[in-house]
Structure 1
Amino acid sequence: MAFLLTSEFVEHIEQLIAQKDGNALKELFLDFHFADFAEVLEELDSDDATYLIKLLESEITSEALMEVDEDVREKILDRLSPKEIAQELAEMDTDDAADVIGELDEDIQKKVISKIKDEEHAADIVELLKYDEDTAGGLMAKELVRVKETWTIAGCVREMRRQAKNVTRVHSIYVVDKEDKLKGRLSLKDLLTAPEKARISDVYIPKVDYVTVHTEGEEVARIMQRYDLEAIPVVDDHGVLVGRITIDDIVDFIKDEAEKDYQMAAGISSDVEADDSIWLLTRARLPWLVLGLFGGLGSVYIMKGFDEAISNYVELFFFTPLIAAMAGNVGVQSSAIIVQGLANDNVKGSLFKRLLKEVGLALINGIALAVLVIVFGYIAGLDQRVAFTIAISMLSVIIVAALVGTFVPIILNKKGIDPAIATGPFITTSNDIFGIFLFFYLSKIILGF
């Protein structure tokens, strides 16, 4: 049965903390899942949450610290000594420990690392901090099970038992040579059915998917998704096995990237949350609002250049929002499909064919919408020349907007810029300007003013 956090339960915990009833709290959280405990921590104030972290065993609290929101974790860590933080890190996998310690100031990092009793664990954490957090090196954990190709099956089993003590979940068994270079993987079935005196070199599978420490996180996600991998080994520039990335790590990475792309598409330039300070939220939103402002001023300037059209055909003015809206909507639709395709590595082949396909799609949609405009103009008693002008202009605007929405994300991607930027105010504003200019320019040609 799923855990349901209620206000009454939170109040009960707060009362026990106020009474300093440590025994009752330990008993209460004895069989708690760390994810449920993390939910409790997020509902408490920072002092109460820190009290629980200090009170309970690190085996429980370390997992919960990884589940809580980053802001909550930061406030808790600020209230812990370097020694207490080191105790929490000692119970974490190296990748999680590196993520946590990476959030601390450099001087605190050094103090915490010096307090970690397991020197090998500390060294592994320091090594992971060297890599960019969005690469395989930054995502990997050092904990894994590796066996030498020269070992016998019996010797392999003994060594695996020793190594598995430090590995939370054994997804795969990796085979390396005497220099620790990755050679392949070992099937558990083959291990169990092979004769004890047989050597690993006789039964291991040489074909294994892997990534290097420098592989981008998005590429790691694509490989794991394509081949349905629960874990993937990571090697250095010399082919030496240095770690592994598990499915839970890559899911967290995908979730974080999706949140960033969603914010960028909404016109927010930084990774912010609703409870951040007004200054941070303003700094994240204002640049895009300024872009929208200049885009709007550009549209005003364009309309001012066609004041004669508005004087002679005032109906055109009332259809301006329609043209701008259609340009923005079509551009966002096209760019969203392309950005999604780029993220999934599905946008391949000739750019010309891609643009031709998008033009064809825009032509079909544009003709259908243009017909509806003409019908509307007839019903509303609009001058048919004006209705025809609006229809033709809208058709042209839709085609141009589709081309811009397709072309811009692809170009940004080739230039190494996140194409998600093309699904937000950038593409909407640019298409608004193009749309309004094209609308009045074609109207001038057709109506002859």
Structure 2
Amino acid sequence: MTPFKLSDELLAEIEQLIENQKDTQLSSLLEEVHYADVAEIINELNEDEATYIIKLLESDKTSDILTELDEDIREAILGNLSTKEIAGELEELDTDDAADIVAELPKEIVQEVISEIEDKEHAKDIVDLLRYDENSAGGLMAKELVKVRENWNVLTCVKEMRAQAENVTRVHSIYVVDEDDKLMGRLSLKDLLTTSTKTHIKEVYIPKVDAVNVNEKPEEVAKIMSKYDLEAIPVVDEIGRLVGRITIDDIVDVIREEADKDYQMAAGISQDVEADDSIWDLTRARLPWLILGLIGGLGAAAIMGGFEEMIAQHAILFFFTPLIAAMAGNVGVQSSAIIVQGLANDDLKGSISNRLIKEMLLAALNGIILAVILLMFTWWYKDDFYVALAIALSLIVVIVVAGIIGTFIPLFLHKRGIDPAIATGPFITTSNDIFGILIYFWIAKLVLGI
């Protein structure tokens, strides 16, 4: 299968077909295109053109298209649809995707949209999902699944599974529950096919099954599914009743969103934004960290002002200031990035003190190697051993301190329940710049005896 590539020619052709209302040709053109690729096309159209396509195509395709659209485009399209048309789209979606769309609708029309859904069981499931926090397993799960009772025999089980499977897009697992819907285990399809039709499910099901609570954080669900290579995981309520399941496609979205957020925080962007957002939104996201950087620069300048006499006597120290600040920032970001990655993947082992000691030794080794190179270069360049020694010793201490700060801060933030990804951005760079310059001139003053 050749990957879809949106070209200017194709986009122009679609816009022309819409303008001339060539519905048959437009439908034929988009019929074989995957819904995710149609969504990519619609994201490039204006509001009226996007709505035209959604109203033209069948709901079994447009419902999936809606889930793939950019939020602002989807909001504009839904604003142009009647409550009955929106309800028709929701009926074609799994309950988790339908609930996500309902949550984006204006509150004044939600009740009317829900009432327009003909499948009342589907509507009830959507409403049920809306009561969960979106940042929880309950807000992430879908109600569609296949479950059987432990007291059924295999023949009854197969009949019930056929009926349930009609509403499930993909059957990842067969869950076993008791009379109170409490999750008991899972059923192997192989065991089901090779067992007598009169055998009761409780005799053949597998009692060991990984599950998550409705209040579990999506990030924790992602860790569990990744660790055990699960395509789906059941969700239970506070008393152990099976209430839904989370599939791998939802977890991929969670991982991607978390990665995007961490990347933006590491780059010094304080809120979730995209390139197409308004200048004001982008400014609000970037400005706080830029102000922090400005304050850090003013602090560094003030520190240097306190060593003005020494700089006047040894001007070479001033020219090495950017190198010291850059090394401090680089080492701090490296250390914090490793720790943040370990925390995200739940790979960090041992105590904080052991981690700090390890990082200090690593930083010391790197610092000594780099300092020897710097010492030889500066001595050759300036022919002043004591100045070269002062700069080299400063570099070692600066690198060790930066490594400790870069390790300690994300661990501290994690213990306090704050996203440690914040530590890999300008916060670490700015703090290490200030400490680095202070240490640099202080050691230089001791070595040079000024």
**Cα-to-partner distance string for 1:18-63 (whole Å, 9 max, x where unaligned):** 1222222222222221112112212221211111101111100111
Tell me how far 1:375 sits from its aligned partner: 1.2
Per mean C-alpha deviation after superposition, the further-off stretch among 394-403 and 127-136 is: 127-136
1:3 Cα offset (Å): 2.4
Structure 1 match to 2:91: 90
- Indicate yes or no: 2:120 matched with 1:119: yes
Q: How does 1:430-441 map to 2 (within 5 A)?
A: 430-441=431-442
- For each residue in 1:66-119, what CA deviation from the matched residue of structure 2 results, as whole angstroms up to 9, or x when unmatched? 112222222222222222221111111111111122222222322322222222
Alignment partners' CA distance in 2, 1:132 and 1:307? 57
Look up the match of 1:141: 142
Deviates most, 131-140 or 242-251: 131-140
Pairwise CA distance, 1:250: 0.2
Q: Give the secondary-structure state (helix, strand or coil) at the position aligned to 1:29.
A: helix
> Letter of the aligned partner of 2:7 in structure 1?
T
The one-letter code of the counterpart of 2:207 is P
> 2-side partners of 1:82 and 1:277: how far apart?
29
| Within-5 A mapping of 1:53-72 | 53-72=54-73
Give the structure 2 partner of residue 217 of structure 1: 218
Distance 2:245 2:199 in 1: 27
Code of the residue aligned with 1:214 in structure 2: it is: N
> Does 405-414 or 69-78 show the bigger shift?
69-78
Q: Which amino acid aligns with 1:8?
A: E
Name the stretch that deviates more: 121-130 or 89-98.
121-130
Unaligned runs of 5+ in 2: none
State the match for 2:253 in structure 1.
252
TM-score between both structures, scaled by the size of structure 2: 0.98
* 1:10 Cα offset (Å): 1.6
CA deviation digits over 1:258-289, x for unaligned, max 9? 00110000000111001100110011000010
Q: Secondary structure at the match of 1:174?
A: strand
The count of corresponding residues between Structure 1 and Structure 2 is: 449
CA drift at 1:121: 1.4
Map of 2:310 onto structure 1: 309
SS of the aligned residue for 2:346 comes to coil
Aligned 1:149-160 pairs, distance under 5 A: 149-160=150-161
Which whole-Å CA distance do the structure 2 matches of 1:125 and 1:188 have between them?
29
In structure 1, C-alpha distance between the alignment counterparts of 2:20 and 2:171, rounded to whole Å = 42
SS across alignment from 1:233:
strand
Partner of 1:128: 129
Partner residue in 1 for 2:175: 174
Q: What CA distance in whole angstroms lies between the structure 1 residues aligned with 2:305 and 2:405?
A: 24
**SS of the residue 1:147 aligns to:** strand
Mapping for residues 349-368 of structure 1, pairs under 5 Å: 349-368=350-369
* CA distance in structure 2 between the partners assigned to 1:342 and 1:64 by the alignment: 35
Q: Distance in 2 between matches of 1:112 and 1:443?
A: 72
1:334 matched to 2:341? The reply is: no
Deviates more, 1:332-341 or 1:311-320: 311-320
**What is aligned with 2:288?**
287
Q: TM-score of the superposition, structure 1-length normalised?
A: 0.98
Deviates more, 1:158-167 or 1:107-116: 107-116
Counterpart position of 1:74:
75
Q: Partner amino acid for 1:259?
A: D
Q: Name the CA distance, whole Å, in 2 between partners of 1:303 and 1:123.
A: 67
Q: Secondary structure at the match of 2:271?
A: coil
**Residue deviations 1:140-196, cap 9 Å, x none?**
111000000011101111100100011000000000000000000000000111100
State the 1:382 CA deviation: 3.9
Amino acid at match of 2:386: R
State the distance in 1 between where 2:174 and 2:73 align. 36
Are 2:397 and 1:396 equivalent residues in the alignment? Answer: yes
Return the alpha-carbon distance in structure 2 between the equivalents of residues 135 and 420 of structure 1: 20
Q: Which residue of 2 aligns with 1:228?
A: 229
Aligned position for 1:422: 423
Q: Give me the identity figure in percent.
A: 64
Distance in 2 of aligned mates of 1:104 and 1:423: 36
Partner of 1:347: 348
Q: Determine the C-alpha separation between the residues in 2 that align with 1:303 and 1:135.
A: 49
5+ residue gaps, structure 1: none
| TM-align CA RMSD | 1.1
Match of 1:384 in 2: 385
Tell me, in whole angstroms, the C-alpha distance in 2 between the residues paired with 1:215 and 1:260.
20
